[in-house]
Chains A and B, each alone.
Chain A
Amino acid sequence: GQSLEQPSEVTAVEGAIVQINCTYQTSGFYGLSWYQQHDGGAPTFLSYNGLDGLEETGRFSSFLSRSDSYGYLLLQELQMKDSASYFCAVRGTTDSWGKLQFGAGTQVVVTP
C-alpha cells in the first residue's frame, strides 16, 4: 500500500515563502504530483516530479528526493489567493493507468 504524510496547516504572511513537505511510503514509486484546491473547488495540477531535483513553475517549485522518499512544494512571494489546500499525490509503479493516491492535504492560510 501507500501512505503520504504532510502537515495539516501552515500560516504565513503575504510575500513570505512557505515549504510544504511530503513524505511517502510506497511499494513502488513512479512520481509525485502537487495539486491545489480552493474551498469548494476542484483540485488543480501544480507540479510533477518524476526524477530527483527541483522543478520550477513561476512562483511555485517542487522538489523530489527518491532516495529519501521525500518531496516538497515551495510557494514563494505568497499572495492572498494562495490560501488553499495543497495535496501531494503519488503515482506508484504498479499504477499503470495513472491512479493517484493523495495525501491528506495542507491548508495554507495567507494573512495580510
Chain B
Amino acid sequence: EPEVTQTPSHQVTQMGQEVILRCVPISNHLYFYWYRQILGQKVEFLVSFYNNEISEKSEIFDDQFSVERPDGSNFTLKIRSTKLEDSAMYFCASREPGGQETQYFGPGTRLLVL
C-alpha cells in the first residue's frame, strides 16, 4: 500500500541553525500538508500546499518557515534559525484529489533544538 515517507526520523540541531525536513507524499496525491505536534499536545496545522504554491498557512507558519516541492516527488519544510520552541514532531500529510477527506500522514520527524 502506498505511504507517505519522511526523512530524517530524528534531527537534533543547535538553536539558530537551519533544518530541512523532507517528505515524499503518495504519488497521485495533489494536496500536501505539514503539521506539528509538541510532545504531549495536539496536532497543529502549519501549512497546506497545492498546485506548487501555499494555499493556506497558520499563524505558526511565520517567516522562519518555508515549503517547497523541488521536484515531482519531494515536499520539504525548511525552518530557518531554529528556536527552542520549534522542538516537536513534524508530520507531513497528503490527500488525493476528488473530494476524499482522508489525509495520509507520514511517520514524522522528531526535531530537537538545543
Contacts and interface: CB of A to CB of B under 8 A. Distances in A.
Interface residues of A, number: 25
A84 B54 CA distance: 32
A50 B56 CA distance: 21
Question: Interface residue tally of chain B, by bracket?
Answer: 20 to 34
16 contacts: A31-B101, A33-B102, A45-B102, A45-B104, A50-B101, A91-B101, A97-B48, A97-B50, A97-B55, A98-B31, A98-B95, A99-B45, A100-B43, A101-B45, A102-B45, A103-B42
A42 B91 contact: yes
Given A35-B43, A100-B35, A105-B42, 7 more contacts: A33-B102, A91-B101, A97-B31, A97-B55, A98-B48, A98-B95, A100-B43
Interface string A53-93: 00000000000000000000000000000000001010100
Contacts, number: 60
Given A42-B107, A43-B91, A102-B43, A97 B56 contact: yes
Interface string B49-78: 010000110100000000000000000000
Interface residues of chain B: helix, strand, loop or mixed (majority) = strand
Contact of A104 (B33, B41, B56, B95): B41
Interface of A: 31, 33, 35, 37, 41-45, 48, 50, 87, 89, 91, 95-105
Interface in B74-114: 91, 95, 101-108
B18 interface: no
A95 B101 contact: no
